[in-house]
Amino acid sequence: MQPRKIVLLGSTGSIGTQAIDVVDGAPHLFEVVALSAGGGNLELLARQVVHTGAAFVGIATGDPLRLQELIADAARTAGRPDFRPEIFAGPDASTRIAAVEADVVLNGITGSIGLAPTLAALKSGAVLALANKESLIVGGALVKAAAAQGQIVPVDSEHSAIAQCLRSGSADEVERLILTASGGPFRGRSREELHDVSPGEALAHPTWDMGPMVTTNSATLVNKGLELIEAHLLFDVPLDRIDVVVHPQSVVHSMVQFVDGSIIAQASPPDMRLPIALGLGWPDRVPQAARPCDWTKATSWTFEPLDTTAFPAVDLAKDAAKQGSTFPAVFNAANEEAVTAFHDGRIRFTDIVETIHSVLSEHSGSSGLTLESVLDAESWARARAHERLAVSSL
């Protein structure tokens, strides 16, 4: 069998670098044909291009001539002085890279900026291995309409878990989905105790090593709110039949409850290489993609309800999803702006979710969901969030 041709969007990030580990571990299964990144780390990107031998590379910002020089240096060092991939540069570079002929496009970009690349990947006919949950959430019905049955394979650990559990039963046997949440670094704290936490503390995730946006979203529980919407869209289960339970060890990645009361869970130590490998290989499993649980050591898995008073983000996300239309896009855009302001030291941690709440409460939605209405709602939400953030600044 020929190796599957893989496009990696966001190759320099946490998902992207782990995807290259997966490919390195199974070169007979996968071949990287194109890479893209924001442009913030041209040295790493150049090394990745030479290492993988990708024929195409894209950057949103940064100097393409500098990238070309760095690739030439790395290629000389690797003993391949004639290696010259084609470089795409500019804001639409990842969208163009997503359309390169391939079997699977892994979208590992952070943020709703991943929407156009998601739509381009779907249009290309390739399987979309989706880590960039934001594009599905903001695009909603638009992304679903662009996807053929089974064309989107989830990479987010919870949704990969659910997809695996669903192999055990038919859609009409599904009663509920149960998303697990680590609870983040501030699990157990009251709303008041969250007031003065620092960006450094918010980035200290208890179980996962991830990029700064998703790590902060785990701390506010916004990530779980986004994942609730993601699960609803991916698996067509009504919002009120999706639960969140706190599981601090992050070993059970999510569960499906069936009509007879049986619950199937997927468990593995926290390591994204497993869902990434399954996303690239779906429906086939990649042998030795990750270590399994070690039953020779005593261990406990615990579960507790989510404190929705201290962490109201999941309820807020559910409300936004129920309102539909452009509300999820507004939820996400306001969050992205607030998280940036928090890391810049302009607002408090608790202002993040308050900002989302405030911006959502002023939104009136849009009649019909189009790409234009989504982009307009996002711009509006970002501008409104900025005004709100200026008022709540420290």
Ligand X SMILES: CC(=O)[C@@H](O)[C@H](O)COP(=O)(O)O
- List interacting residues with ligand X (CB under 6 A): 156-158, 181-182, 184, 208, 214, 218, 223-224, 272
| Binding of ligand NDP by 131 (CB under 6 A) | yes
| Binding of ligand NDP by 132 (CB under 6 A) | yes
Q: Residue 128: count other Cβ atoms within 10 Å of its Cβ.
A: 30
For Mn ion, which stretch binds (CB under 5 A), given 34-42, 158-166, 204-212, 271-279? 158-166
Choose, by CB under 5 A, the member of 134, 156, 337, 351 that binds Mn ion: 156
Give the neighbor-by-neighbor strand order of the sheet with 263-267: 263-267, 252-258, 174-181, 242-246, 304-305
DSSP state of 66: H
Choose, by CB under 6 A, the member of 29, 34, 37, 147 that binds ligand NDP: 37
Closest CA to 49 of 2, 97, 11, 76: 11
For tokens 């970009």, name the residue. Answer: 109
182 touches, from ligand X, ligand NDP, Mn ion, none (C-beta below 5 to 8 Å by class): ligand X
184 touches, from Mn ion, ligand NDP, ligand X, none (C-beta below 5 to 8 Å by class): ligand X
For the bound state, the minimum distance from the C-beta of residue 228 to ligand NDP, rounded and expressed in Å, comes to 14
Q: Is 186 exposed, middle or buried (0-12, 13-18, 19+ CB in 10 A)?
A: buried
Closest CA to 245 of 194, 180, 184: 180
Choose, by CB under 6 A, the member of 133, 187, 224, 318 that binds ligand NDP: 133
Q: Residue 18: count other Cβ atoms within 10 Å of its Cβ.
A: 22
| Binding of ligand NDP by 134 (CB under 6 A) | yes
The amino acid occupying position 49 is V
For the bound state, the minimum distance from the C-beta of residue 194 to ligand X, rounded and expressed in Å, comes to 15
Q: Are 127 and 104 in contact (CB under 8 A)?
A: yes
For the bound state, the minimum distance from the C-beta of residue 132 to ligand NDP, rounded and expressed in Å, comes to 4
| Binding of ligand NDP by 160 (CB under 6 A) | no
Helix (H, G, I), strand (E, B) or coil at 148: coil
132 touches, from ligand X, Mn ion, ligand NDP, none (C-beta below 5 to 8 Å by class): ligand NDP
